Structure formats: structure tokens, C-alpha cells
Amino acid sequence: MTKDTKVDRRNFLKGAIASVMAVIGVGFGIPAIPYVVGPAIKKSDDQTWIPLGSTAKIEIGQPTLFKFKIKIQTGWIVDEQEISAYIITNDGREFVAMSNVCTHLGCRVRWIAEQEKYFCPCHNGVFDKEGNVEAGPPPHPLNRYELKVENDQLFIKGG
């Protein structure tokens, strides 16, 4: 053996330690890839129907405020939010769900039954019974939610 091909103990230990560290790194790295990348590529079409309550709670022609909670997942963070919606019907068969959030700056609107209008207290936004803008700075009507009725129970799409 020549001196160039001879491996001394120091170089052997460096190589052995580097090899063990590489095996450990691969052992931890491969399972970590789905954990790190998974939430970013996960499809978010897992919206569910959230039960609101009975259709009997809603008076014909009068908006009724319902509150419900949804879970929103962004990456690894799961956040639970309470959402409110006004439900209205004019015939007891067809129902419409509108957000109670003003489309101007996100303030909560409230229904004033005597005037049959929704009012936003922040900047005097006014919406009619169907959620259309009547006055003030809101640029759009109140947002609508998808709604369905099964066995006289209301369900709103969320998630």
C-alpha cells in the first residue's frame, strides 16, 4: 500500500460520522416533506353544510339573525370564527341568507324593523330588505351565502 491510498483513523472517523449523519438526516427529512408541503398543496373544497336551525324561527318578510361557527385552516393553523347571517323569506319556501357585514369597511349591520332597512353604524351605510345599497359609501350589496333546506331545517355552506 502506498501512502496515498492508506486511510488513517481520523479520516475514517470523519467519513463514518458523515455517513451516520446523512442516514439520520434522510430518516428525518423524508417523513418531514409531506408535513411541510402537504398543507400548501391541500385542496380547500371541503366545505360543509352547517346547520342553523328550524325554518319555523323565521317570520315571513322579517330578517332573522343566525350565528354559526366555521373552522378555517390556513397551512397548519386552524382558526374558528363566529359568523352571522340574516335569513329572510317572503313565502316560507324560498330563503335567502345575507351577511351582516357591511361591504364598505366590514362593520356589522343591524336590521331596523320600523324602517325596514339594514343600517351600518360606522359610516351610515343603508341597505334595503334584499341587501341592496340605498345610501352611504358601501360599494356593493350585502354578500350572500349558499343556503339549503332539508326537513324544515336550514343549512348554510361554510368551511
For residue 24, the enclosing domain spans: 1-42
Q: Report the domain count for the chain.
A: 2
- 13 and 71 belong to one structural domain: no
- 23 and 82 belong to one structural domain: no
Closest C-alpha among 34, 69, 63, 66 to residue 48 = 69
> What does the radius of gyration of the chain's CA atoms come to, in whole angstroms?
29
Are 33 and 25 in contact by the 8 Å Cβ rule? The answer is no
- 19 and 58 belong to one structural domain: no
- 33 and 82 belong to one structural domain: no
- 70 and 114 belong to one structural domain: yes
- 81 and 144 belong to one structural domain: yes
- 62 and 138 belong to one structural domain: yes
Are 155 and 147 in contact by the 8 Å Cβ rule? The answer is yes
Q: Which helix (H) or strand (E) holds 38?
A: helix 9-41
Q: Is-above-0.85 flag for pTM? A: no
To the nearest 10°, report the CA torsion of 22, 28, 31, 32: -110
- Each residue of 66-110: pLDDT tens digit? 888 777 777 677 888 888 888 888 887 788 889 888 888 888 898
